[in-house]
Structure 1
């Protein structure tokens, strides 16, 4: 009963504001305000306000929200523990497969940087005759000599 009275008062105030706005020759804004002010009365007439007030004042509904909150908290806690334990899901799957004796091919992390061919999924062939990148400092030495260092 109280909710219906409040909704009716809000609608009446909104229609009053819409009338003042229309008097000031702002008809588009007045129409929009009138539309918004009719929503609370429409909710009362359809029974939505009674339904919502029935939900708000039931203890079982609040217990349900509490259980949802506990479930969310447990879910987030397990996610945090999983992330702190180290590794990603793919890494843990690879480790589990290795423990079972299955062969798992590593994935290329950046195919655009030459880690593998994007079209075939195979690693790019290393050029023959060149030492590994960690042992080849000739280009760095050339840059340092160029700058006089």
Structure 2
């Protein structure tokens, strides 16, 4: 009953403001204000306000929302744990595949690039001028630099 009274008062105030706005010859704005002012009365007449107030003031409804929140929290927790476990599984699988790859093709492993002193041998990469540039295996930007030089940037 209180919610319906408040909605009616808000609608009456809105229609009063719309009338004052129309008196000032701002008819488009007055029409818009009147439309907004009629929404609360429409909600009261359709029963939406009564339904919402019934939901808000029932403890069982709030307990239900609480249980939905707990369920959501449990789902998100299991998903996060699953992701973390999945990433470690992927890392272990990648390590196993790397070991298998090293056993099958030892020339591709990093141990084949080291000389007897333990230093890494530089790799040669062609440049646009036909020269070979000596780079370390960790030089990731050399390809980008070559593309930029090729385009004159």
Provide TM-score, normalisation by structure 2: 0.59
- Taking the aligned partners of 1:7 and 1:60, their CA distance within structure 2 comes to 26
Give the Cα separation in 2 of the matches to 1:3 and 1:88.
Answer: 55
Q: What SS is found at the alignment partner of 2:38?
A: helix
Q: Indicate whether 1:137 and 2:130 are aligned.
A: no
CA distance in 2, matches of 1:50, 1:37: 19
Do the aligned partners of 2:44 and 2:50 also contact (CA within 8 Å) in 1? Answer: yes
Higher strand share: 2
TM-score where L is the length of structure 1:
0.60
Question: How big is the alpha-carbon RMSD for the aligned residues of Structure 1 and Structure 2?
Answer: 2.9
Contact 2:18 2:30 in 1 (8 A): yes
CA distance in structure 1 between the partners assigned to 2:43 and 2:88 by the alignment: 49
Q: How much has 1:74 moved relative to structure 2? A: 0.6
Matched residues in 1 for 2:88 and 2:46: separation? 51
Structure 2 segments unaligned to the other structure (5+ residues): 94-120, 126-131, 136-141, 143-153
Q: Distance in 1 between matches of 2:52 and 2:7?
A: 13
User: Between Structure 1 and Structure 2, whose CA radius of gyration is higher?
Assistant: 2
Secondary structure of the residue that 2:66 maps to in structure 1? helix
